[in-house]
Amino acid sequence: MNKSLANNAPPEVGATLQRLRLARGLTLEDLSRIAGVSKSMLSQIEREKANPTIAITWRLANALGVQIGELLSSEVRSTELIRVVDAHEIPTLPGAHAGYSLRILGPMDLAGKYEWYELTLAPGGALASQAHDPGTNEHLSVVIGSVELEVGGEKKKIRHGGTARYPADQDHVIRNAGKTEAKALLVVVHR
């Protein structure tokens, strides 16, 4: 093979993707859900059977909380003392169909232990969650507007500046019954 052709080959991102995914304790299914990329495509990329498009690479980098260049590089980078994650790099789980947006503020390597999110609810929007693992708790702090929280048939209103602490190992719903957008910080602590 001509050496100049080998240098023009697309970057092989599979090993880097797998290293970053595993370092964050994510399964292929977890990354698929967060990035919006099919599990089979992720598997093909990791096995170097497919190269991702720019759009998919961008989504994967956002989901992993890294710069796109880091995903395209096979170099293992030295650890920075301060890692700033710009707003456009923060992965977001869109729930437009239910009137919410959930920005993943916590690092992926803590997922399953401690997670924190910025939850934005449109008027009438709701984030309905099935029961998490036994012993899981959530802490919901409202920073704009007010929300209604329902856990185990009990409902409470949380106003601006208030925090609700509750068991999340049963079905629960956070809804905005108001006429203006509501915003809250949501912390999930798994046991």
pLDDT for res 75: 57
Write down the pLDDT at residue 53: 83
CATH number of 3-72: 1.10.260.40
Pick the CATH number of 90-189 from 3.40.50.2300, 2.60.120.10, 1.10.3720.10, 2.30.30.360: 2.60.120.10
Q: Where in the chain is the domain with CATH 2.60.120.10?
A: 90-189
What does each C-alpha distance from 170 to 36, 133, 140, 150, 151 come to in angstroms? 26, 9, 16, 10, 7
Q: Within 13 A of 27's CA, how many CA atoms are on the CB side?
A: 5
Which pLDDT score, from 0 to 100, does residue 2 have? Answer: 45
Res 100: pLDDT: 92
Question: Which pLDDT does position 81 carry in this prediction?
Answer: 78
Which residues of the chain register pLDDT less than 50?
1-6
Alpha carbon distance 30, 121 (integer Å): 23
Q: What stretch(es) of the chain map to CATH 1.10.260.40? A: 3-72
Task: Give, to the nearest 10 degrees, the angle between helix 39-46 and helix 28-35.
Answer: 120
Q: Given this model, what pLDDT does residue 77 score?
A: 53
Token look-up 């185990």 returns 152
